[in-house]
Structure 1
């Protein structure tokens, strides 16, 4: 295109020379000369204007030339500001996101079996990669610190007391009491010899053995009757006393400093440093092994369940208008938040990228992208200059001839 535009200038220069030389012999060539002269002026003016955008014309450092190399950083900053103001507007971006129907498109894509399988495979690869990158000791330290912060450091007494009181208020402990009483009745019924032996062991030595046996049988019978009475009577005194004791225990666990201290002592004795460290290590090892085994087998229950869940979620997104609207709303709000808070940083990528470009290379890149149209400007300038030169000469002859 440069050759075409320059060739047209050369052609006009040749025409000008010929017409200028022969215009006295052939007066009509004066009009041709005027057109060629105007075309050369227009071609040279537009050549200068186009060239001045990218370099110094003919190497001469004329003011306000080589505009793009010289003002590259300012152009990049202006472009970034333009994009930020006109394209990264919160309203513009949110309107575009709403018009896309992201949730329905995503739902239709996820609902297809091959896509759900692909998501499951990619998820499995991500999990395996994460397992390889994570340091076991670091993860164990995190689990241990979380266990200490959220499980061991808070006092156990008050929350356990509140939990136990709620259990008692709702009567959930009654089945446990019934179970204990039933087991006690079964034990007493099946361990008569044990009861007799215990009575005999605690009887004075001077008492005859036959009396020990009779006394043991009597104690066993009375004990069994007592347990049966507790078993059959929901309002038995033993049950009421047990409820009373448990209620008192719940209050002490919540408000009695001594009882709270006892609970804390039991907690720390049961869950000291070695136990917590061992628990953290076992927890992570179990979780890691289970995850790696599951994601390594496409036919594992976890993999199949994940694939099914992805496909079902996609189907719901595509068919459930209410869910689709909610997800679109979340996406729109999230996009608006990102644009609202980070659009300057996003647009700044343009500015920073242009700043890193070499000035001469930038000029060449832009010239290659828009150079064809710029050469047409030169061609148009040549044509317009020719017509203008012809018109000016004609009008001058008509007015002054």
Structure 2
């Protein structure tokens, strides 16, 4: 219980005590008036009216005192049936209250009507459009994600990531989907740029390393040939090889390109239909993912990714936080400017809220009954009496006043009737 709540309860108890003293004081005054009027009414007949009013006031005060007291406890400690209603029927009251809330406040009609008149998307977007509010939201979300990341066990997360990768990436066959992808790439001609790039890199490498062919050709010539012949052969082979690469590079219909296209198309078909090719690919995949170095690389990648994410989320001046804030502000501004988008979001929010209420209506209402059921009977009585007891004391006061008027009216009518008959 907060300090403010405790202070309010203390003030309510003081007000309750004052009202109880007032109601009891009126009863005592009525009793004194009755006693005086009863003793002197023979000498002063008009005091009969006073006595009747005081008598009615006492009856009304006592009856309403009994009614109010019976709600919270047994009057005078006597276990009269149907008294101490709240402590003895606490659980039933809690269930009735929960059922009342569920039926009258959480019904589909009430929720739909209430949400239909609200511009939730506009209100949220208007609040988020302020950069300070957007930064606050991003900071809260970042703090929550950082806290979650701190709770994660690295070993378990690595195992979970590995399990997900194996289930969705490693275990399915790669051959058929890769074959279908290769067919689409070949059909679109997208592989030609890759071939051009490969030829360009190979030509650049040959230009930068002319000595790479020194032993490849001349090293296989007879040793008795003069050295200048070796050089001429090497240079000629180097020039012809670069010319050949240039021809392939600039001729889209070159036979080498066609041969490469045919090979790739055949390989794509075999990836989809040839069990031997698919099997070799699966074996290579299994060896790669079972290699301890691959697993170590995955573990280090997870650690690095988590560290980078935590650092970016924890730093208020990080680029990630700035971009997230800007994205939130931009999204909010778009919602405010686009009436159709805002209406769509309101409809979605309303449907989501209605679904949640419909699904968890009983669970929400059961919070009330479960909470009341867990209260101590005396604590329950004290809580309810503190909240409403002061107003109930007005019943006693009103009963005293109404009883006095009723007693006076009855006595007056009886007196008039006796005088007439």
Q: Do the two structures share a fold, i.e. TM-score over 0.5?
A: yes
2:248 to 203, 210, 230: 230
- Unpaired runs of at least 5, structure 1: none
Distance, in Å, in 1 between the alignment partners of 2:206 and 2:150 is 58
Are residues 238 and 396 of structure 1, via their aligned partners in 2, closer, same or farther at CA, if it must alter by over 3 Å?
same
Deviations 1:355-386 (A, max 9, x none): 11111221122122212221111111111111
Task: Decide whether aligned partners of structure 1 residues 89 and 207 sit closer, same or farther in structure 2, where only a CA change above 3 A counts.
Answer: same
Q: Residues 144 and 276 of structure 1 are in contact (CA less than 8 Å); yes or no, is this contact kept in structure 2?
A: no
Partner residue in 1 for 2:161: 143
Contact 2:34 2:51 survives alignment (8 Å): yes
Matches within 5 A, 1:48-127: 48-127=66-145
Partner of 1:11: 29
How far apart are the structure 2 equivalents of 1:195 and 1:136?
51
- Pairing 1:399–2:411 present: no
**Superposition CA RMSD, Å:** 2.5
Instruction: Summarize the Cα distance change of 1:225–1:38 in structure 2 as closer, same or farther, 3 Å threshold.
Output: closer
Quick one: distance in 1 between partners of 2:348 and 2:150? 33
Alignment match, 2:8: none
Q: Deviations along 1:92-135, whole A, 9 cap, x unmatched?
A: 22332343322222212211122222223223322332232111
1:361 and 1:199 map into 2 onto residues whose CA distance is: 102
Contact 2:60 2:403 (C-alpha < 8 Å) held by counterparts: yes
Match of 2:290 among 259, 268, 272: 272
**Aligned counterpart in structure 1 of residue 398 of structure 2, from 371, 374, 380:** 380
Partner SS state of residue 260, structure 2: helix
CA distance in 2, matches of 1:195, 1:9: 123
Q: 1:194 to 1:373 in 2, by over 3 A?
A: closer
Q: Residues 173 and 107 (structure 1 numbering): CA distance in 2 closer, same or farther, change over 3 Å?
A: same
Structure 2 equivalent of residue 163 of structure 1: 181
Range moving further from structure 2, 192-201 or 276-285? 192-201
* SS of residue paired to 2:163: helix
Question: Which shifted more, 364-373 or 253-262?
Answer: 364-373
What is the CA-CA distance between 1:87 and the residue it aligns to? 0.8
* Inter-partner Cα distance in structure 2 for 1:389 and 1:197: 133
CA distance 1:45–1:194, change in 2 (3 Å):
closer
Match of 1:365 in 2: 383
Matching residue of 2:271: 253
Work out whether residues 288 and 294 of structure 2, in 8 Å CA contact, stay in contact via their aligned partners in 1.
no
Gaps of 5+ in 2: 1-18
Q: Distance in 1 between matches of 2:234 and 2:33?
A: 143
Structure 1 residues 80-100: Cα deviation after superposition (integer angstroms, max 9, x where no partner): 000011111123223323433
- Deviation of 1:269 after TM superposition, in Å, equals 2.2
Once the two structures are superposed, residues 35-88 of structure 1 have per-residue CA deviations (whole angstroms, 9 ceiling, x without a partner) of: 111111111111111111111111111111111111111001000000011111
**TM-score relative to the length of structure 1:** 0.91
- Cα distance 1:33–1:246, how it changes in 2: closer, same or farther (>3 A)? same
The residue aligned with 1:314 is 332
**Number of residue pairs matched?**
401
In 2, Cα distance between equivalents of 1:141 and 1:392:
89
